[in-house]
A and B are shown apart, each in its own frame.
Chain A
């Protein structure tokens, strides 16, 4: 992404231009403060003389990259200073009203994350396995990506979908049961979207037919799905665990050649069918939502339903089908919890992932690639806590787990750039 300034935002470029908005230094201050804090914690305070080892390669790669060791304190300090320099650049960009591209927060985050890693495993004998860290992050991000895309589909059409949690849970449940009965993980994968779509159908039935507040329906549907699945789990599934609730595991498919590229191969191409499906869905939606007629209509209905109606788009029909499609996508993500892991269904096993998916959607600013990036960030935080837990680290695991939520609060409070929801979100359309 380029960091090109919009021509209209250059002061005095032509007469009659809109008055310029006051310069906001909120984001630069935020960047600088976090980078300064990191410099202090990782670069200045720790004792020197420790070393950090990273391992990179796995056994099947074309060629092996040796694991490398760096002096902890100096490396962390260097990374943090680079992040500080980036923050300085954002000040300059804000002052001259230049827009910063998406690369900036991405590079900034990578720098700080590496500084954190260097500090966290400093002085340990064990190497930090970078490749498996990334592999696990991608895997844990799967339900978040599907959930965020589900939220995106319905919210772009103007229906707030708080019920992602319920859709994931319903998908996980049906996937487990169908996969066990048919003894085929793939059939479970096909069944999961149906469950998610059913939850969505209830959502739109109440939100559109009976004009009930969408947040209320979503919250209540989450409770309903938890109630029904937990009830069926403790009665039917508990009595027949072997015949109803022991799904086979989705096999890992190594894509030939591609999977042997160092680092990239194991991370991206040694995954299950669900992950490959995720790549497809993200790419298709990214193109379709912004470049197709369907996508244009979807966004029109969510931004200005009256205008959309005037040109002959069926507002409520568009909302119904896209929300149901979204539910199906979330249901597919629910299959992650059971068949993708080869785990039996358990009570409330989604554990709030639907709400994190909602956060990922907002952090990704209602776009598929943004949602993917945000979900990967959350997946990374989740997996990092597991990996560091094994190696042993100075950070309490709860603090690590808390981080995505804190980041989201900062994001919606506008510190990490402005987020804007579709204009007609949550507003019912009655002719």
Chain B
């Protein structure tokens, strides 16, 4: 299987040049309008709207009141539409109140708690998404964030509960352990790709499954299982190894959020300012050309995977040292897979990934509130997420739906497009 060949430094989507004639303000305004309509962020917004509309149809279809009203649709269609509107609006309002701010709450603390929950939930998504983004830009499709998060959590968790160390040192060691664990696990895939050309998609999928059974096995051993418990659960991590809370005990928001911001800055510096990042991007654009230019491509494969894995491992530390505090076989939830959609939505760029992580964190945090208040299952969030990414990947579809002017190309967004057979290909 060949990988995506992302075109790293193209301004996404805006290939149509704005007209730059000095015919007066009107022409320039038209040019600006045209640029706005063909820009990629507008596609992103439209894709989000489209995804929420389609999910809205699903919400309405599953609503009992709507089904009742549909039974006499031709007699009183207005009933049907108002019932559908109530169902969808109610669900999305609950989602918003659960994700951003809840104006109906009794105290200020409760009103802003949803926002902090969104930030807390987004930490593993951002960290793992940043790692995957590096891989995508280096032309490696790493599906293994799930396994790397688990390995990070195993390492951090073990250091957290097996030792008793002074405050700062304990946390530091546990966090480093998480990065090492995730990095080594991903490193297997990088090593095999470099040495034998083994396809990283398959290897990382397999490593995900192995990691799930590995944590299950470890939790049945004496070293990991909580004393006196028959369940696969570890002892809680020591207080010194936990991430300190940022806003006091009323909120779950922890230091991991600042770590995620720092990681985003680091990834920006790595990919845009360092020689190593340049090599990563060069290999992603064209491995053969990179090799000819003297870049050690195999070393790049290994390093990309190890750095990506370390970031996913840090995501695991956010789970075990920040929110969960104990190791279970569900410690990674589905963050590893969600992070793939985060990286894709963020177009593999650090800033984009950061905001995409916040958005999907909000959907997740709000989804729980929505489920509790309106009974709409949180699974609908998965539908929204996957639809957003599908639409982002196919801008012509979104433009056609919203009647936006075309941006020139007829294919996918450059970062997400498939390699194409070229006329001059040897």
Contacts and interface: CB of A to CB of B under 8 A. Distances in A.
Nearest to B219: A398
A123 to B, nearest CB: 23
Interface string B1-28: 1111000000000000000000000000
B416 interface: yes
B206 A426 contact: no
A407 to B, nearest CB: 9
Interface in B147-188: 188
B382 A212 contact: no
B207 interface: yes
Given A210-B411, A230-B379, A398 B418 contact: no
A236 B205 CA distance: 32
Interface string B369-408: 0000000110111111111011001101100000000000
A224 B383 contact: yes
A396 B196 CA distance: 31
Interface residues of B, number: 59
Contact of A306 (B64, B418, B421): B421
Nearest to A158: B421
Interface stretch (A15-23, A320-328, A352-360): A352-360
Given A162-B201, A220-B389, A405-B210, A215 B341 contact: no
A405 B203 CA distance: 9
A206 B390 contact: yes
B199 interface: yes
Given A234-B377, A405-B210, A429-B421, A412 B62 contact: no
A213 B340 CA distance: 14
Contacts of B199: 412, 421
A227 B380 contact: yes
Contact of A428 (B203, B344, B419, B425): B419
Interface in A369-425: 396, 398-399, 401-402, 405-406, 408-409, 412-414, 421, 424-425
Contacts of B412: 210-213
A217 interface: yes
Contact of B382 (A160, A226, A355): A226
Chain A residues touching B, range:
35 or more
B396 A428 contact: no
A356 to B, nearest CB: 8
Interface in B78-120: none
A426 B4 CA distance: 9
Looking at B192, B214, B412, the one whose CB has the most chain A CB atoms below 10 A away is: B412
Interface in B283-334: none
B217 interface: yes
Contact of A223 (B220, B382, B393): B382
Interface in A330-370: 347, 352, 355-356, 358-359, 362
A211 B420 contact: yes
B120 to A, nearest CB: 22
A398 B217 contact: yes
Interface string A229-266: 01111111001000000000000000000000000000
Nearest to A363: B202
A274 interface: no
Contacts of B202: 358-359, 362, 408-409, 412
6 smallest beta-carbon distances between A and B, as pairs = A227-B382, A235-B62, A210-B394, A211-B411, A398-B217, A224-B386
Interface of B: 1-4, 58, 62, 64, 141, 143, 188, 192, 195-199, 201-203, 205-207, 209-210, 213-214, 216-217, 220, 337, 340-341, 344, 376-377, 379-387, 389-390, 393-394, 396-397, 411-412, 416-421, 425
Given A347-B379, A412-B199, 17 more contacts: A212-B417, A216-B416, A220-B344, A221-B390, A228-B383, A231-B377, A232-B62, A396-B217, A398-B214, A399-B213, A412-B192, A413-B198, A414-B196, A428-B417, A428-B420, A429-B420, A430-B411
